[in-house]
């Protein structure tokens, strides 16, 4: 069980290690600031990115039915569980795989 998260730095834009596609890699629950810019600039950039991520054209809403299973790749997907299931029983099993270290476009260019 995770009881404490150690602060880490990672790129705001990461390159997916398998597809090579670039994606925004910020999360309002975990991203505290952007290194190298003022607190004001950091907040403005993050707010803009969060607004972009939550545009309707970027959202998939799954309508659950018994027996459904959902999987996603946290390297390229933000997710949020709405608590709109009323008094229905919700069972969730989560696994987290040890993954790669996020790299940005600059690191990919330097390595290639």
**Per the structure, how many domains does the chain have?**
1
Determine contact, residues 72/79, Cβ cutoff 8 Å. Answer: yes
Concatenating the DSSP letter of every residue in 21-88 gives: -EEE---TTT----TTS-HHHHHHHHHHHHHHHTSGGG-------TT------TTT---------TTS
pLDDT for 3 equals: 76
CATH of the domain at 15: 3.60.130.10
pLDDT for 9 equals: 92
Determine contact, residues 25/31, Cβ cutoff 8 Å. Answer: no
pTM, 2 dp: 0.78
pLDDT for 88 equals: 79
Q: Say how far apart CA 4 and CA 7 lie, in whole Å.
A: 10
Q: If you search the block for the tokens 């009323």, which residue do you land on?
A: 86
pLDDT for 42 equals: 97
pLDDT for 76 equals: 85
For residue 25, what are the domain limits?
A: 1-112
Q: pLDDT tens for the chain, 112 residues: list them.
A: 667 878 889 999 999 999 999 999 998 888 999 999 999 999 999 999 999 998 999 888 888 888 888 888 888 888 777 777 788 787 888 887 787 888 999 887 777 6
């Amino acid at each position: 069980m995770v009881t404490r998260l150690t602060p880490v730095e990672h790129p705001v834009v990461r390159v997916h290690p398998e597809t090579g596609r670039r994606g925004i890699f910020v999360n309002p629950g975990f991203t505290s600031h952007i290194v190298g810019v003022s607190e004001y600039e950091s907040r403005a950039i993050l707010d803009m990115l969060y607004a972009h991520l939550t545009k309707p054209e970027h959202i998939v809403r799954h309508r659950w039915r018994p027996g459904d299973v959902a999987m996603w790749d946290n390297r390229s997907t933000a997710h949020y569980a709405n608590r709109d299931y009323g008094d229905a029983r919700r069972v969730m099993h989560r696994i987290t795989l040890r993954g790669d270290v996020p790299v940005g476009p600059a690191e990919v260019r330097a390595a290639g």
